[in-house]
Amino acid sequence: MSLPITFHRAASAEFIEAGAWYESKRLGLALEFMAEIERCVSLASEHPLLYAIVREDIRRVVANRFPYSVYFRKEEHRIVVLAVFHGSRDPAIWPARD
């Protein structure tokens, strides 16, 4: 059974911005990126405890093909996506998100 998913406002903005960047590089690439991130979010929703804790109660799903990870927190009745984060960015940016 998968849990409902909520995106932190900043995570949603990161996702949209990254998609726009990929689309500017090649027509249709944004759709491929978005499908991969959606796959990661779906995995987190279906099997949240499968992913290792990277900080306190925050877990990470690493995307295939794109240098991004999805950071999330499992709450009692939902998954909260805290960040859709490029691997080269400073990871100190997102942990303060609630």
35-62 per-position pLDDT tens digit: 999 999 999 999 999 999 998 999 999 9
Give a yes or no: residue 64 inside a domain.
Answer: yes
Give a yes or no: residue 98 inside a domain.
Answer: no
Which positions of the chain have pLDDT values less than 70?
A: 94-98
CB contact at 8 A, 48 and 72: yes
DSSP tag of 93: S
pLDDT at 89: 80
pLDDT at 94: 63
Domain region containing 45: 5-86
The total number of structural domains that make up the chain: 1
Give a yes or no: residue 97 inside a domain.
Answer: no
pLDDT at 1: 72
DSSP string, 53-88: EEETTEEEEEPSSSSEEEEEEE-SS-EEEEEEEETT
CATH number of the domain that residue 72 is part of: 3.30.2310.20
pTM of the full predicted structure?
0.90
